[in-house]
A and B are shown apart, each in its own frame.
Chain A
Amino acid sequence: DTAVSQTPKYLVTQMGNDKSIKCEQNLGHDTMYWYKQDSKKFLKIMFSYNNKELIINETVPNRFSPKSPDKAHLNLHINSLELGDSAVYFCASSQDSYGTEAFFGQGTRLTVV
């Protein structure tokens, strides 16, 4: 009964491919996020959704397209993968958007070769 689960945990793919990462939360939260963690462990917000609506798109290339089919799911699709996309991607959720803590998934380590 994992609170925030994302799949896959590891993803190795070639440049130019398209891939998706799935995320689900069973906490009943309204807000979901995607964060990118680079090789130096720096965490940066990519997208924020509230009740299935996109709220934040933090200057992420158009190749990244999030989709929220319902409040409990936020998937990330990446087109035309590049070497620089290699990172750990974290999904997270929070009860609301106004200063409550976020719960994180285990991360997806994406390696583009």
Chain B
Amino acid sequence: EPEVTQTPSHQVTQMGQEVILRCVPISNHLYFYWYRQILGQKVEFLVSFYNNEISEKSEIFDDQFSVERPDGSNFTLKIRSTKLEDSAMYFCASRLDRGGYNEQFFGPGTRLTVL
């Protein structure tokens, strides 16, 4: 069964450093998303991506964040200068949105720890 994969599973970084989180969405899906979940809190939407551009973003997704689909399979989230409050689980999700299939499938997540 196709699934969303994410690497690395755990990333530890120093405050102010850049990190890139990687995701491989399900191959025929058209919409891609990043969410984050701070420990003990709700899953929060960050950004959606369709047709090689951002279609929607939240207030959390400021100039420190960027997304890219560098090739036909990978989808990345970059945080340019990490802050302590960026520590969270980051989930990638993908959605087909064709033929009535509207659900999003999530990856296993990357735990980001900023020291």
Bind each other: no
B-side residues, CB < 8 A to A, are: none
